[in-house]
Structure 1
Amino acid sequence: MAVDHTETAFTAFQESLGEDLTTLHDDGRLTVALGWDGCGKTSLLNRCAAWVKAELGKSCHILSLADAGRDNEPREDRENRVFKLLIHEFRDRDLLDDNQHAELTEALDKGDLNFGYLYASKYVLKPKNLVLVVLLPRTEIPLEVENYARWAYPYIVFLAESRKVESVNEHWSAIESAHNSALPIRLKVGTLDNGDGWAFVQSRKGDRTDAPNYPFVSEETIRRVTEARTLSIGELHKLLYGTYQEVLKKGKASGAIGSGSMGEVTLLDLMEFHFRRPGRQ
């Protein structure tokens, strides 16, 4: 399924890489998805990684390290952890001989990640004609983004995400300067546009009126919700899921479930759940 409201960003990613992804053999690439919590950055980057894999087939490995970092730790610690896990994954996938493992481990021990990624590009990936796609932990530090731009050597694709939209944008010229001749890709992932909410509901079959065990919601209701408040895809998902669960529980209690009379989730249902849910903004 498409990452509903991020279709434009995904198309921009495809167009930036072009039809011939073997160009990644000459220039690696950094892609950064910018946007606030719940807007679909992670889903978008996973879709981008899957597309590169589908295009390149067995000559592409995906390494998902999105959960490898913590927001409150020093930048250097997070960068070192990513590289350490990369070495382990290389080892587990039988991509390293003993000498290569020693070289990468020494680079990590010395804190010379620039040499480490260059070595991985030239002596590990290139001889195998293998493109590595790395899904990075979320970062709020522009310098960290700049470093991955610098380390995006041939055969390496970094996919990063950040909530610090303004900070990264202000630092973008430095990020571009650090990158190789193929410029980094910047993807903006924003709030839901008009019609995106309804596309999201339809993709999850929330509009079906013929499902006897499940409620439904109308297009008019969803449009009124998204017009009334700026929402991300994640926020809309939480709102609908929570409201649907309440309707289902009420149906079970009354014996209506399975009778074809679960009914419609109304605007009032959604508003009441929104104002009752814990931690609402």
Structure 2
Amino acid sequence: MSVNPFALRGRDHPAGHLSPFPGKGSEESGLYVDVGGASARFARFTEEFTPPDAAAGRGRLVVVTGDSGSGKTSLVDRCVDWLGRAAAERGWQAPAVDLREAEAVALGTADRVRLVFRRLVASLAEEGAVPRRWVEELRVHEDDPPSGYRALGRVVLEQRRFAVVLLPSCELPMELREYARLATPGVVLFLESSYPEVEREAESPPSEGRVLHLRMGRLGADDVRRFVEQRLRGRPPGTVPEISDEAMEAVVRTAPHLATVRQVQMLLHEMFDRAIAESRTTVTYRDFLEYWNAKDLTR
């Protein structure tokens, strides 16, 4: 029986980020392909955070930018996983609170930052990530995030911990500036954005030495080829349709138009689905054309 190598396990749709690293207990580690400069960005992160307790002790904001679907969230997950393991090797703990799925609310920057801090305190209480007495102390500062983040950093450092917070996506440069100010000792904040204005702000951060900007690049032809080949590598014969040379070259040539992993993933998922539905053993150039023409992706 043929399977689609570009489907994500347990997903109804091929789009979506991977959580491909062992620390998250994921079954997707074999699906991750290093494209768009992710390896270089990750290497820069590990260099900046070695040793992790010293880097976190200063307080840091890690800003990951790039087009939607470029692999920002997967890079963040990779960095957070490494940070937790590296901290543990030095006798520290780095509990992470993931607020990225928090519902977006149309508020001004100050109100939005305040709401996120309240959600952070609620998550720490709900998950039991910190002792109850710490939660009560943080609740005192719910309307004053600067004081609240300072209190959080103080209490975690006392216990050889530092707090890792994955923030909701950022749309405004002003919000980035505010979080740069809030990255106090003991607190590491991660922020993602697809907005050019935020990216420009991250390139010239207001808090020197506190902001680390990692930009995910657009895919090139070599990235696309590597993505396809790695997803198909090691599959038992007969379990996955082959892709013809003509179809493969057509996919590779999409790099100027399909610039992100998500876009390429959706193209290949559809091509392989067509072949599987028709019980064919080969994905052909016709499968590529039918998807390409239907989506009119050259515009």
Same topology, TM > 0.5: yes
TM interval, shorter chain, is 0.7 to 0.9
Selected match of 2:116 from 73, 82, 85 = 82
Selected match of 1:212 from 235, 238, 245 = 238
Match of 1:256 in 2: none
Question: 1:126 Cα deviation (Å)?
Answer: 1.1
Equivalent residues in 2 for 1:195-274 (5 A)? 195-205=222-232, 211-217=237-243, 221-228=247-254, 229-231=256-258, 232-251=260-279, 262-274=280-292
Q: Structure 1 residues 201 and 240 mapped into 2: Cα distance closer, same or farther (>3 Å)?
A: same
Q: Structure 1 residues 182 and 273 mapped into 2: Cα distance closer, same or farther (>3 Å)?
A: same
Q: Structure 1 residues 84 and 213 mapped into 2: Cα distance closer, same or farther (>3 Å)?
A: same
Equivalent residues in 2 for 1:1-281 (5 A)? 1=29, 2-5=32-35, 6-17=38-49, 19-57=50-88, 59-70=93-104, 72-91=106-125, 92-93=127-128, 95-98=130-133, 100-108=134-142, 111-122=143-154, 124-165=155-196, 167-172=197-202, 176-177=205-206, 179=207, 182-205=209-232, 211-217=237-243, 221-228=247-254, 229-231=256-258, 232-251=260-279, 262-277=280-295
Report the TM-score, using the length of structure 1 for normalisation: 0.82
Residues 78-87 or 38-47, more deviating: 78-87
The higher radius of gyration belongs to: 1
Q: Which amino acid aligns with 2:274?
A: E
Q: Structure 1 residues 158 and 182 mapped into 2: Cα distance closer, same or farther (>3 Å)?
A: same
Report the TM-score, using the length of structure 2 for normalisation: 0.77
Structure with more helix by fraction? 1
Cα deviation, 1:203-251, whole Å, max 9, x if unaligned, reads 322x568531321225764454233433210100111112211211111
Matched residues in 2 for 1:275 and 1:71: separation? 37
Cα deviation, 1:90-125, whole Å, max 9, x if unaligned, reads 223251343x433322321xx310110001111x21
Matched residues in 2 for 1:138 and 1:234: separation? 18
Pairwise CA RMSD of aligned residues? 2.6
Q: Mind listing any 5+ residue stretches in structure 1 that lack a counterpart? A: 252-261
Residues 153-162 or 219-228, more deviating: 219-228
Residues 148-157 or 268-277, more deviating: 268-277
Cα deviation, 1:146-174, whole Å, max 9, x if unaligned, reads 11111111221111111112x12433476
Q: Which amino acid aligns with 1:267?
A: Y
Matched residues in 1 for 2:160 and 2:223: separation? 40
Contact persistence 2:65–2:214 (CA under 8 A): yes
Contact persistence 2:95–2:163 (CA under 8 A): yes
Residue 275 of structure 2 aligns to a residue whose secondary structure is: helix
Matched residues in 1 for 2:225 and 2:130: separation? 45
Question: 1:77 Cα deviation (Å)?
Answer: 4.2
Give the count of matched residue pairs: 261
Matched residues in 2 for 1:219 and 1:195: separation? 15
Matched residues in 2 for 1:210 and 1:46: separation? 29
Question: 1:30 Cα deviation (Å)?
Answer: 0.8
Matched residues in 2 for 1:94 and 1:195: separation? 43
Residues 133-142 or 86-95, more deviating: 86-95
Contact persistence 1:31–1:160 (CA under 8 A): yes
Matched residues in 1 for 2:235 and 2:99: separation? 40
Q: Which amino acid aligns with 2:282?
A: E
Q: Structure 1 residues 210 and 102 mapped into 2: Cα distance closer, same or farther (>3 Å)?
A: closer
Question: 1:271 Cα deviation (Å)?
Answer: 2.5
Matched residues in 1 for 2:244 and 2:297: separation? 27
Matched residues in 2 for 1:202 and 1:243: separation? 15
